[in-house]
A = this chain, B = another copy of it.
Amino acid sequence: MPKRVDHDERRRQISEALWRIAATRGLDGASLRDVAAEAGISLGRLQHYFTSKDEMFVFALDYISGLAERRIRERVQALPGTPAPRDILRHCLVEMLPLDDESRAGNLVQVAYYARAVHDARTRRHAQEGVPALRDFFAAQVRHAVERGEVDPERVPEDEAMLLLALADGLTSFALLDVYAPAEALRLIDRHLAGLFSYNSSPRSSGSKRS
């Protein structure tokens, strides 16, 4: 068991090195050697864990996703009572936008991943598993909101989920390009959520499930 923990710790250390490079100068020209140097280990040692840049990328992305998931769970659990679907969705979306240094760094790793994945089918698989999983989670929240009478039952939960994910993705791009301030991106997400949650025909929406 202790050996296993060491390996995980080493992979985490390498992921964080990759992350620091992504957040500052980008991963475009960064070699495995550069990442090893940033992590303070030898190239040989790094290659013991990752044989290719793509493999390292995917691990770093999983690591970032894991951290983001934990942050979301903590935020949602900190909400009083049973959190409403709208609050859960908003917390997830807040976590996706580059509103602080940590999520900005995570987003920059994703940009580097994205630029590689559009040209490499194997690397793309990470997104092909991750995005539908996130869509299903979002769709479940929208479905729950429909049941609570907060969202128009005419809306298709899976479509609304994809629209939310695409919006967050596009607004993140504009924020990373300094076209738009991250706070403005959040304001637009809130505007979109307000439209989605504008339905209130049912008395169940008055909050009986809260607190």
Contact = CB atoms under 8 A, between A and B. Distances in A.
Interface of A: 24-26, 28, 108, 111-112, 114-119, 121, 124, 127-128, 131-132, 156, 159, 162-163, 165-171, 173-174, 176-180, 185, 188, 191-192, 195
Contacts of A28: 28, 115-116, 119
A29 to B, nearest CB: 8
24 contacts: A26-B116, A111-B114, A112-B115, A115-B115, A127-B174, A128-B177, A128-B178, A131-B174, A131-B177, A132-B179, A156-B191, A159-B191, A162-B171, A162-B174, A163-B188, A163-B191, A163-B192, A166-B166, A166-B170, A166-B171, A166-B185, A167-B170, A169-B169, A169-B170
Counting every copy of the chain, the complex holds 2
A177 B114 contact: yes
Main secondary structure of the interface of A (DSSP, over half): helix
Of the candidates A118, A128, A176, the one having the most CB atoms from chain B within 10 angstroms of its own CB is A118
Contact of A167 (B117, B127, B166, B178): B166
A163 B128 CA distance: 24
B26 A118 contact: yes
A101 to B, nearest CB: 14
Nearest to A24: B119
Contacts of A132: 179
B177 A170 contact: no
A116 B112 CA distance: 9
Contacts of A114: 111, 114-115, 173, 177
A53 to B, nearest CB: 10
